[in-house]
Chains A and B, each alone.
Chain A
Amino acid sequence: MMNYKIFIWMLIVPFVINGQNKISGNHSTQNLTCSTCHSCDIPTKENPCIKVCPRESMIRIDQPVTDAPKIFVINKIRETDIYSPVKFSHLAHAEMSGLAGGCRTCHHYNPPGNVIGCSDCHESSRKRTDISKPDLKGAYHQQCMNCHRAWSGSTDCTVCHELKGKEKSQTSVVSNNKKRIHPEIKTPDKISFAAKTKQGKLVTFYHNEHINLFSLECSDCHSNESCIKCHSTNKTASTKTISEKIKHKKCSSCHNTESNCSSCHSNSEAGGFNHKSVTGFDLSKFHSKLDCARCHTSKSGFKGLNNECKTCHGTWTLENFKHKSTGLVLDETHSELDCENCHKELSYSKPVCEDCHDDKSYPNNLPGKRAK
């Protein structure tokens, strides 16, 4: 009996371990250990032993930051009583984070779904058995100080804390917080950057296209600059010259900034993005409503595609192609023909009539009727 059990385990264990190694996409890119989310050592599909999330709070991680709760009184840490609880202007901070990573700026590792509060993962007692992540006090300060320190250069406790016995009244803090709600951050349409080069001294950056057309998130370019970008107390630091390399870094994840200067730099203001003039492929007829990613599927940056139809659509046959979608319903005779009989080019553009008809030509003569 015993031996039999051991045998079964020997069969199972390699699979379990193998399953462990294949951590799917999102997991492997985050700096996570298994125990951050799973309560058991070997989570399986049947029993993932995911740690509980607070189901009662209905704010989801992907909701706009403006939906965030206004004020929290942070009073879960009582070990030291030097300072009184902080009245944290949560909404103001959420709005400020809009330019960085949204809610996830602070609610890191939050799984899709409801927002999980800090204390659901970080223990409120410093004396604890699981020391693999900071306790609540450490977690709060590590999140706060990252920005506060960069922004003001100060580590003074009294920026946020009031010494016990020297508190202002609760109401004045609340009304103060109301005033401090961050104004909406307006996105510009286009920005012209002056480069220091002789040739191509102007870079016209279409901010709106990068958001609307190329679907970039604010945080794709603006991460980690949430406060100091605008609020640096150290003015010399914010206006000091940044090296060319750092300036190009933001663009280079999509653009080739090493050798292809002229795609961004020109001597006069450049027009917006035009797929036809830049790539030679006219989107206007059938492809204008598509997201870029429908065709440009490569995850590692934007790649040019072959402009033959079959690159995306595969080979067209009478069965899988409804000619009506081109705006022309073929008549009975023509609907029996193979595509290639009329369309000689791989782009399936203008048909050739002369092979069969001496006296007919497109578009003067049509092989069917225009669809309405």
Chain B
Amino acid sequence: MVYEALDFYDVDSLLTEEERMVRDMVRDWVDEEVIPNIEIACRDGVFPDEWRVALGEMGVLGAPLKGYDCPGLSYTAYGVICRELERGDSGLRSFASVQGSLAMYPIWDFGSEEQKNYYLPKMASGEWIGCFGLTEPDYGSNPGDMITKAEDMGDHYLLNGAKMWITNGSIAELAVVWAKLDGVIRGFIVEKNDPGFSAPEMKGKHSLKASVTSELVFQDCKIPKDRMLPGVKGLRGPFSCLNNARFGISWGALGSAQACFDSAKDYAMSRIQFNHPIASYQLVQNKLSWMLREITKGQLLAYHLGQKKDAGTWIPEHISLAKMNNVDIALEIARVARDIHGANGILDEYPIMRHMANLESVKTYEGTHDIHNLIIGRHITGIQAFTREA
């Protein structure tokens, strides 16, 4: 079946020609290389290395970053890329989000000139994969209390601690790790072969199966002095990265939603029960019409946020709203699509169950749904509700 992207309000006509060309390039690649292979990748629990190569060749990694051989596209284009990738699979989009927004971006914004020149070109080309270590076993939603620490040993830093749930961890050449130096959060670049560093893969995921998730373990891990990111201190560092990744997710989730809608519509048109296509029954039409309604609203949200991001008139709360809303509706659309597919909905012949399971992770990472509620709640009331302590 041919994929016809739902775009009820013709929102894509607002994109620039360049953005549309990038969209078509990624969409064609996803159709030809990702969709035919995604189920096998999930079954094997691997991120196919060809996809790393192809993303590098297309030149979409670190999309909105300028200079240092980075693409230099708009944030809106970055959003479109995320959407097209996630139409294939959220694991694929996760790879690109982590590489671009969580690993390249902090080096690009907070790194030294030497660090930028050394790492960014190889990361933009896909040669080197990066990962982002913030979450710890005991500190998820409140990373500020992290335990991982760095000590200044005069001619080097010593890292101790552990990170968990780290996308791309075991396949990464380098990790951007957030750790406390004298009680202040700082960013460090840890390379794969640094002594005292290991990245064992976490197994047994029912979600994002085509994405690698790992622990990062630092046991007296020794890194040279020039690996600290000089440009940022405190939670602002990791949170700036998260803002960009969350922005991409707010677009990406729509890709999953559109894939589920597309499949549900086709299925409803062709599935005959009680002598008629199920699409001819009002209850099913209500479901499809609700999906279209939510996707269309989500598209307008994402597009407008893209414009604000490009114009520099955004605040983090804008991103929270879009991430929270678009992942939420995508997950619900996946569930309703599963219902429309009946028993077939649970098979890997259809993309539904995979998207649904993936979106459960997407709902949790990059700030859980409720953490974004709290961010918006604080914006409305001026009262923080994350913790009882002041």
Chain A complexes with chain B: no
B interface with A by C-beta (< 8 Å): none
Residues in chain A within 8 A of chain B (CB atoms): none
